[in-house]
Chains A and B, each alone.
Chain A
C-alpha cells in the first residue's frame, strides 16, 4: 500500500468516526448499533497502521495486490453489518406486528365501552 493511500484512508476513517460520534451526540444513533460501525472502522484502522497484517493475509490467500485484500476484508465486515441490520429489522417487524394487533384489540374494547 502506498503512503498516499494510507494517509487518505486514515483521513477517511477519521471523518467516518467523527460522523458516527456526531450522530450519537444528536441521539440519532443507538449506542448498541454504533458498535458494529466502530468495529468496521477499527478493522480498516488496523490495516492502515500495520500494513504487514494486510500483506500477510494477501500472501496466504494468494491475492497479488495488497489493497485487494483490504477490500475483501472490508467486504466481509459490510456483509456482517448488513446481516445484523436484517436481524434488527426482523426484530422490529415482530414488535410492530404485536403493537398493531394489540392496538386493534384495544380500539375494539374502547368502541364497545363507548356503546355501553
Chain B
C-alpha cells in the first residue's frame, strides 16, 4: 500500500538531515514529506539543498496545523496510509513496518507507537509520565479508548482517517485530542510497542512551565471536544 511519512519540522536544522538520510537510505520503500512550519532557522535551506521532499508553510501554524497539512498532502496524492513521525530523531523508523502492518492487515484504523508497553528506551521524566497517565485515564473515561501513550506523535492512520484528519484536526498539542476524535468517528485504535530516543539536538517545544498550561489545556480540550462533538464540522 502507498505509504507516506509525515514529518513535521520546526527549527530542526540539527536533526532533519540525519533523520531524512536515515529514512531514505535504510527505508527507501516509504515516501515522506517534511512539513516545515515556517522555521526561523535554516531548516528550509537544508531541505532545499539536499533535495528533500518538503512543504514549507508561509506562516507558523503550530504542530496541529502542520501535521494536518501532511494529511491534506497525503489525501491529495492518493496515499493509503499516513504515518506521523517527529523530525527530531525521537522516533526510530525501524518501527515503521510494525505500525503500518497493523493497518495493512486492517486490524485498526489508527495505530499508536507506545513507549509504555515494553517500557524500553527513553521514558521521559516521572512528572511527565504521571501527566500522561492522567490524560490516558481522562481519555478512557471520555471516549473508552484504552491507550497508554496518549501523547505519542508516532502514529499511523489509514485512508479513512487521512480524510477525517485533513478536515478536522486540533491546533495545539493535538495528539491526545486526535485519539478522542478517532473514537468519536468510530475508529478502531491499536497500540504497538516502540522504543523512542531522547532528542539529540535542538530544543523540545515543551518546557516545564508550559507543561502545567499543557495539562489544563489538553484536559479541557478533551472534555469540550467530547461534549460538543456532533459529527465533526470543524476545519
- Shortest B140–chain A CB gap in Å is 29
Check if A101 sits within 8 Å of B68, measured CB to CB.
Answer: yes
**Residue contact B235 to A97, C-beta cutoff 8 Å:** yes
Residues A104 and B235 in contact in the complex (CB < 8 Å), given A97-B61, A97-B65: no
> Does B10 sit at the interface, judged by CB under 8 A?
no
Report how many residues on chain A are interfacial, defined by Cβ distance under 8 Å: 11
Instruction: Count residues of B near A (Cβ-Cβ below 8 Å).
Output: 16
Counting chain B CB atoms within 10 Å of each CB, the highest count among A98, A103, A105 belongs to A105
The minimal Cβ–Cβ distance linking B67 to chain A, given in whole angstroms, is 11
Query: Hey, which chain B residues are within 8 Å of A105, CB to CB?
Result: 55, 69, 72-73, 76
Distance A96 CA – B72 CA, assembled complex (angstroms): 15
Is B234 an interface residue when CB atoms closer than 8 A count as contact?
yes
Residues A85-102 near B (CB distance < 8 A): 94, 96-98, 100-101
* Chain A positions within 8 Å of B76 at CB level: 105
Max chain B Cβ within 10 angstroms of own Cβ: one of A101, A107, A108: A101
Asked if B234 contacts A101 (CB within 8 A), the reply is: no
CB-based contact B69/A101 at 8 Å: yes
Cβ A104 vs Cβ B55 within 8 A: yes
Chain A residues contacting B171 (CB-CB under 8 Å) are 97
8 Å CB interface, B65-100 against A:
65, 68-69, 72-73, 76
The 4 closest A-B pairs by CB, nearest first: A101-B69, A104-B57, A94-B235, A104-B55
Q: Which residues of A contact B (CB under 8 A)?
A: 94, 96-98, 100-101, 103-105, 107-108
| Chain B residues near A (Cβ < 8 Å) | 54-59, 61, 65, 68-69, 72-73, 76, 171, 234-235
- A–B pairs, 13, beta carbons within 8 Å: A97-B171, A100-B58, A100-B59, A100-B65, A101-B57, A101-B65, A101-B68, A104-B56, A104-B58, A104-B69, A105-B76, A107-B56, A107-B58
